[in-house]
Amino acid sequence: MLIATDLDGTLVPNASTSIPPYTAEVLERVDDAGIPVVFVTGRPLRWMETLWPHIGKHGLAVVSNGAVTYNVHDREVVTSTGIEPVLGLDLAEAISSAVPGVTFAVESLEGIRQDPDFVGRDRVPAGSRRGPLTDIWDRAAVKLLVRHETLDPDEFRDRVISAVGDVAHATWSIPGLVEISAAGVTKASALVDLCAKLGVGASDVVAFGDMPNDIPMLEWAGTSYAVANAHESVLAIADHVAPSYDEEGVAQVMEELEGAGQHE
């Protein structure tokens, strides 16, 4: 068995920098029982430092919605799939034409870069580079972030996704923000590769999530759980519903799974 879990709104409260004590205890116990727990998150590497102590013996995590697989023990990027500048700038132009007033940021392995009008609301490091997209996008981006400050979030999202088409993969986890990865890159694509390396099949994977960017992973896993606070689209496709993140519901289910494994 392998457990794959989203972080924000699933394992921990949104933007949390720590793991609650009960969840931390369960993570350690499950790992000791030989069940890998893999964090599969939309967060960039720079948001993960305080959570690395809770990575198990396998040492692996998936970040940036599947664009990066990281070996925590070796502090080494295992795989990284990004959007190259030439393709990305053409894509940004198409989005701007379809949705006037959008702003952009590009997330790379080195950090975030923003156009002059992008409003970064979550832990943007002081001194992060700003400028026209043509100047700041000079290396592969693991995510292109798109915002609109006034458009209805549903209309904004639909128009951006339509403009992206099959050139890249567009998804979302926060209203008013669309997250774009390279074509074919999802949480599921990264998890498939990671599980193949560990010799784990889809039928042995239990996955947890709460937002639309988790859907590909939940659909691939042999067993899927939406937390009770999940978006309606996630609740509609999940096999089971776990208690909400504020009840540490993922930890509750993991504890049950670990106990069931001991009695097989």
The number of distinct structural domains making up the chain is: 2
> Are 61 and 130 in a shared domain?
no
Per-residue pLDDT of the chain (264 residues), as tens digits, is: 999 999 999 999 999 999 999 999 999 999 999 999 999 999 999 999 999 999 999 999 999 999 999 999 999 999 999 999 999 999 999 999 999 999 999 999 999 999 999 987 666 666 688 999 999 999 999 999 999 999 999 999 999 999 999 999 999 999 999 999 999 999 999 999 999 999 999 999 999 999 999 999 999 999 999 999 999 999 999 999 999 999 999 999 999 999 875 544
Residue span of the structural domain in which 174 resides: 85-182
Select from 125, 148, 182 the last residue of a domain. Answer: 182
**Alpha-carbon Rg of the chain, whole angstroms?**
18
Angstrom distance (rounded) from CA 240 to CA 238: 6
Select from 141, 163, 182 the last residue of a domain. Answer: 182
CATH, residue 121 = 3.30.1240.10
> Are 36 and 97 in a shared domain?
no
> Are 144 and 197 in a shared domain?
no
> Are 56 and 90 in a shared domain?
no
> Are 171 and 54 in a shared domain?
no
Angstrom distance (rounded) from CA 258 to CA 255: 5
> Are 175 and 93 in a shared domain?
yes
Q: What is the pTM of this model?
A: 0.95
Establish how many alpha carbons lie within 13 A of residue 220's alpha carbon, considering only the half-sphere containing its beta carbon: 20
Q: Roughly what angle, to the nearest 10 degrees, separates helices 249-262 and 21-32? A: 30
